[in-house]
Amino acid sequence: MSDSASPSGAAARTSLRTSLIELTVVVILAACAGAAFEAARGGSRPGPDAPLDSTANAPPTQPSTIFDLPPIVTNLGAPQDTWVRLEGSIIFDPKTLPHPEAAAGRIGDDILAYLRTVSLRQLEGPIGLESIRQDLSERAATRSDGKVRAFVIRTLVVQ
144 within domain boundaries:
yes
Distance CA 122, CA 133 (A): 11
56 within domain boundaries:
no
33 within domain boundaries:
yes
Domain with 129 in it: 7-44+62-158
Could you report the per-residue pLDDT of 87-128, keeping only the tens digit for each? 999 999 999 988 899 999 999 999 999 999 999 999 999 999
H or E, element range at 45: none
H or E, element range at 117: none
The predicted pLDDT at position 10 comes to: 66
Per the model's pLDDT, the better-predicted residue between 104 and 9 turns out to be 104
73 within domain boundaries:
yes
Distance CA 151, CA 137 (A): 5
Q: Provide the domain count of the chain.
A: 1
What is the C-alpha R_g of the chain?
A: 20
2 within domain boundaries:
no
H or E, element range at 16: helix 7-41
The lowest-confidence range among 56-60, 78-82, 122-126 is 56-60
95 within domain boundaries:
yes
The predicted pLDDT at position 11 comes to: 65
50 within domain boundaries:
no
55 within domain boundaries:
no
